[in-house]
Amino acid sequence: MTQDHAFIGRQPILNRQQEIIGYELLFRLNKEAITANFSSDMQAGTNVLVNTLSNMGTDWLVGNKLAFINVAESMLESNFLELLHPERVILEVVETTEATPQLLSRLQNLKDLGFSIALDDFVLTPQTAPFLEFADYIKLDIQLLGMTQVPALSKELRCSKALQVAEKVETKEEFKHCMELGFECFQGYYFAHPETLAAKVINPSYANILNLLNMLRNNAELKDIENALKRDVALSFKLLRYINSVGFGLSCEIQSFRHAVTILGYQKLYRWLTLLLVTAGADNSSPPALLKTAITRGRLVELLGAHLLDGQDRDNLFIVGVFSLLDVLLDMPMERILETLILPENVSDALMTRTGIYGPFLALAEACEDPDMSEVPFLCEQLHLTPDMLNRSHVQALKWVEDLGV
């Protein structure tokens, strides 16, 4: 792996409404790297950072989202950071950085340029206290600190104007506790790698969509599909709204279900219904960020396989990515969900065990949500994907979901 290439992962950062406000971008210099150690080679690190982002063009950060980027002392002292967009970039000062007079002066200079500053894995000590003057975000690793220590530190830091970010939130209980403590932002596996909750009965809206998916998979008659769509007013409205959205790029407006099926065909209608199955969770208090993660993952999995698969296989990749979070959205074990759906064996294998022709693509998309990114190089090599191909797919997936307005 040459030093002008790097893998980029991302992990969402959410507000109290569980809406995504930004992503922490995770950089790895080469396939041997397990952590983002830029300080060992500042020149290589800064080149990777700037060149990778620049090569992505203006769409590397979409919509109104923020990019949280870890910066070590050597990178802070370089002039490469001036090439980034300050209104969209949050510079995360890593915990090993020393608050020297020179560095504090540099932070003031970066603030004057319009950059916002985050303090990563912050622990309050006499040595770290000088950083608080410059902080816009303070990130507390609740696993490292322990939940018994978090309340006191959070309260003490309320003297700062900075927003507090709870890092490594892994369970629903931890998220609820941090909400009660007044944290403004949240990040962790609870959102990127949600766990399966207690099973519940599928509500009528879900049941109707699942029925339609099975009808399409069984090549039911057009009139039967149209009647099934007409029986659910909410589903009908959502279907037409999504198909008519700018994200689908259709040349004409869809005005009836018969028209929709005729224009799209069964396979594409099946694809759009998978979106509806996910977004129907919005009516059942599913976190908005979780819905967006599922749809983004679907698009990312599809794009990752674009160089190897096409046609129906690409549609199946999208379905694999979106359905990979159905167990969380429906609060049901994946085995039970698959019992209600007629899916190709390769799709089921990917969802259950990350095997088959689609499994490795889903595994790679999930690995990109892991801050360690330790599996990314191996999976990329297995799928013949370069860092540039992976990173470009990330950006395209994010932009696609923003265009959908999800």
Domains of the chain: residue spans and CATH: 7-191 (3.20.20.450), 204-404 (1.10.3210.10)
Mean pLDDT of the region 58-84: 74
* Band (39; pLDDT cuts 50, 70, 90): very low
Mean pLDDT of the region 278-292: 66
**pLDDT of res. 5:** 59
* Whole-angstrom distance, CA of residue 384 vs CA of residue 8: 16
- Give the sign of the dihedral formed by CA 239, CA 245, CA 247, CA 251: positive
pTM over 0.75, yes/no: no
Q: How many CB atoms lie within 10 A of CB 129?
A: 11
Q: Name the most confidently modeled range: 74-78, 79-83, 169-173, 282-286.
A: 169-173
Tokens, residue 255: 């005005």
The DSSP string of 278-317 is: HHGGGGGT--HHHHHHHHHHHHHHHHHTTTT--THHHHHH
More confident residue, 169 or 23: 169
The residue to which tokens 């994946």 are assigned: 334
- The answer to whether residues 122 and 138 touch, using CB atoms and an 8 Å cutoff, is yes
**pLDDT of res. 279:** 67
* Whole-angstrom distance, CA of residue 240 vs CA of residue 237: 5
What is the 3 state secondary structure string of 142-209?
HHHHCCCCHHHHHHHHHHCCCEEEEECCCCHHHHHHHHHHCCCEECCHHHHCCCCCCCCCCCHHHHHH
More confident residue, 143 or 19: 143
* Band (277; pLDDT cuts 50, 70, 90): confident
Tokens, residue 344: 């190709």
- The answer to whether residues 256 and 243 touch, using CB atoms and an 8 Å cutoff, is no
**pLDDT of res. 37:** 44
Residue 194 has pLDDT above 60, yes or no: yes
